Amino acid sequence: MFGNAFGPTGFDLKFRLFGVNARVHPSFWLGGLIFTRGSPGISLVLTGIATLFVSIFVHEMGHALSGKFFGDRVPSITLHAMGGHYTPGNTLRHGRFIWMVLWGPLAGFILGAIAIGARFALEAHLLPFSVLLWYAIYDLMWINITWGLVNLLPVFPLDGGQILREVVRWKFPLKTDAFSYTVSMITAMLVALGMFAADYAFGFGIYPVILFGMLAFQNYQLRQQFLAMGEYQRYEEEAPRQPWEQDADWWKKN
């Protein structure tokens, strides 16, 4: 989704880890400053940006390493102002695609569980107390658990929305992508309305309202674009279906 908006620049930070090419777009650091706004002191700002970097990096590496496991020979990830994205070197379909998408949030949940363990260790005085450590643990829990769950909502292009579209393409071939975008649009609108009510009642902040409002509008545009190409257009297979693509439980047999 964001590949064109956050293309390579001369100021990118580039490195390679576990066979995955990683690139950090300059806008990521701006996003980190926005994320840490209101933090008192430069040390907490830097800690917040570091935890954001680790969290998004782990999430995208979950996608990339899963893709590599399924045969992607040149996986790459990019971190940018909107989070990050994984760019597969080859097309993954159906069951493999779904598992690749799931491993982003799953990697984050594992990191979040480690942070929860660190919090209990800190409260039990098994770790020396530090304000920076407490702040980092809190951020790791919030980013990886809370936003990990949000990311699984059936709203495209969030991970849950990508899974929804792939399941519809795979298991309900009589439906079109317009159905997936409609579900995504309605879900995003309901979340935006719910967050607006929560902000009015408890002061949760307006950012989630804006985010899901934008996602609702984006899915409306995608739906309209798809319908403009033909009401009865169906997703066309790019290659013959493999045995594992025809069996939802293929992974249990391997």
pLDDT at position 2 is 43
pLDDT at position 215 is 93
CA-wise closest residue to 60 among 94, 30, 24, 7: 24
The pLDDT-based confidence of 93 (bands split at 50, 70, 90) is confident
pLDDT at position 208 is 83
pLDDT at position 179 is 95
pLDDT at 106 over 70: yes
Q: 147 by DSSP, 3-state: which?
A: helix
Residue ranges covered by each domain of the chain:
153-230
Average pLDDT, integer, range 170-191: 93
pLDDT at 249 over 80: no
Return phi, psi of residue 24, to 5°.
-110, 110
pLDDT at position 107 is 97
pLDDT at position 234 is 52
The pLDDT-based confidence of 50 (bands split at 50, 70, 90) is very high
CA-wise closest residue to 5 among 102, 83, 76: 83
The pLDDT-based confidence of 142 (bands split at 50, 70, 90) is very high
9 or 249, which is more confident:
9
pLDDT at position 246 is 45
Alpha-carbon span 69 to 156, nearest angstrom: 25
CA distances (Å), 192 to each of 144, 165, 213, 216, 240, in order?
A: 21, 21, 6, 9, 40
159 or 200, which is more confident:
159
244 or 219, which is more confident:
219
CA-wise closest residue to 59 among 8, 6, 116, 101: 101
pLDDT at position 59 is 96
The average confidence (pLDDT) of the chain is 86
Percent of the chain with pLDDT over 70: 88
pLDDT in tens, 185-234: 999 999 999 998 987 788 767 778 888 999 999 999 999 999 888 654 55
